[in-house]
Amino acid sequence: MSDLTLAELAAAVRAREVSPVELTEEYLARIDRDNDRIGAYLAVDHEGALAAAREAEALVRSGAQDLPVLCGVPVSVKDTCPVKGLRYTAGSAVFADRVAEVDAAVVTQLRRAGMVVLGKTNAAEFGCSSYTETVFGPARNPHDLARTAGGSSGGAAASVAAGLAPAAHGSDGGGSVRIPAACCGLVGIKPTRGRVSSAPGPDSAGLATAGPIARTVADAALLLDAMSTARPGDTHQLPPVPAGHFASSAERDPGRLRIGVLRGPESDDPWCRRACEDTVALLADLGHDVAYAEPTDPDDYREEFAVVWSLLACSVPVPAEREQDLLPLTRWLREKARGYDAVTFMSALVSMQAAARRIASRYDRFDVVVSSATAALPPLVGGLVDDDPAQTFENMLEFHPLTPLANITGQPSLTVPALRTPGGLPVGVLLTGRYGAEATLISVAAQLERAKR
C-alpha cells in the first residue's frame, strides 16, 4: 500500500480498498524499522496517528459523500512547525523538551483535508542551514546514507524518499523545500508569498513559506491545495483559489510557453549542468520557445539576504544562558544580528526589495525560468560544515546559489527530478514562474514528468 502515490492512496481510501488504520500502521511500522538509520523523524505520534486514522475510517464507513479530499492519508510535518501536543524542537537542543500548545494554520489545513499526522521530521536548527545535521543527528539521503538529505527540510524529504511518508510538509526560506527535494529525487514546491499562512508564526520578512514535498508533481499539487490558506493578520495574503485548482493543473497541458534558461558556471558539477541541459532540450522538443536568459550575480542580493537571514535566526527567543547550546552556525548568525541596528535591518529590507524588483523584471518576459537546482551533487554528511561558521554560510550559498532568488522575489518555484548519476544519486532542476502562477509551473512540470516515462 505504501508504494502508492498520494493521489492513489486517497482514491483507494475513498473506494474502501485501503483501510486508513492499516495504512497508518504500515507507515508506523516502516518508521520503527528504518528511522534510526535515516534520521527522518524526531518524534513519531503512534497514538495520535492511529486515533486520527480510526476517525477517518469511521467516516469512510459511515458512507458520507463529502469525504475530505485526503481522508485517512498519512503525512509528516517538519519540526519547525508546531503540532499541538507533539514535541517541537525547531531542530535545537534548547527546545528539546518543548511541546507545542497549538497547531500551525497549515497543520489545521492538513487535518481539514483528512490527513493523518505521523510525526515531526528532522530539521536544521531554526531552519538556518541547507543541510540537516543537529544534536539529534543528521537526516541522511536514502539514496546514499553517507550523504545529506539537504536542508532545512531534510527530514521531510528523507521521510518521503525512504517510504516513511507518502508526502511531507516542509518550509522554504532560501531553498529549504527545493534543495532537499533535489537531493532526494523528489518534487518540492515553494509557493508564492502569501499562498500559505505562516500563523501563528511571523512572516515579516516574507522569505519563508510552507510547501509540499512529494514523489510526483500531481501529489505535490494535491498537497499544495490542502495547505493553501490565509489567516487574519497575515502580512502577505493572496486571494483563495478554487478547490482542486493546483491538482487539476497537473492534468492540464501548459500550452506553448516562453522558457528562459539560466546557465550555471563551468565550476558547477557536470551532472547538474547536464540535468539542466537535458531538461531544456526536452522542453524544446515539447514545443516550447526556449532562450537563454541573463544570469543574476549572487552578489546582487547576497549581502542583504545575509543580514535578513541572520536577523531571522536571532528573532527566535533563547535564554541567554542557553546560547552556548546552539550550533556554531546559529550562534554566528545571531551574533552577527546583534551587531545590526534597526536602521541597518530596514535598509537591508529596502535593498532586498529593490533587488527583488530587478530580478523579477529581468525575467518577466518568460513564463518559466529553468536552472540547476543545486551546483553540486548532495554532499557527504558534514561536507558543508567548516570550523569557521562564516565559511559554512558561504559553502551553503555556493551549493545552491539560485534557490534564494524566488524567496527574495516571492515568486513560486519548484524542483523536479531530472536524472540519476551512474551511482544512483538524483539530480534536480529548478523551475521558477511569475508571481501567483503556481498553476503554470505545475502544468509544465507534470508535462516533463510524463515525457520521461
Catalytically annotated residues = 78, 152, 176
- What's the rounded Cα separation, in Å, for the pair 129 and 19? 38
Contacts of 384 (CB under 8 A, 6+ apart): 129, 130, 131, 148, 392, 395, 396, 399
Q: Which grid cell sits at 251?
A: 492534468
Closest by alpha carbon to 418, among 239, 253, 187, 213? Answer: 187
- 300: exposed, middle or buried (C-beta count within 10 Å: 0-12, 13-18, 19+)? middle
Closest CA to 108 of 199, 40, 219, 13: 199
Q: Where are the beta strands (DSSP E) in 127-241?
A: 133-134, 137-138, 140-141, 144-148, 167-172, 187-190, 209-214
Report whether 428 contacts 414 (CB < 8 A): no
136 phi and psi, to 5 degrees? -90, 0
Cα dist. 222→52, 189, 254, 439 in Å? 20, 11, 17, 12
42 by DSSP, 3-state: which? strand
Contact 31, 103 (CB under 8 A): no
| CA dist., res. 246 & res. 240, Å (int) | 12
Letter for the amino acid at 450? R
Report d(CA 431, CA 176) in Å as an integer. Answer: 15
- State CA 361 to chain mean position distance: 25
Residue (of 90, 129, 71, 160) closest to 415 by Cα position: 160
Report the greatest alpha carbon distance in the chain: 61
Q: H helices of 136-244, where?
A: 154-161, 178-184, 217-227
At 376, the amino acid letter reads A
3-state secondary structure of 400: coil
d(CA 408, CA 406): 5
77: its cell numbers: 510535518
Q: Which of 214, 273, 256 is nearest to 416 (CA)?
A: 214
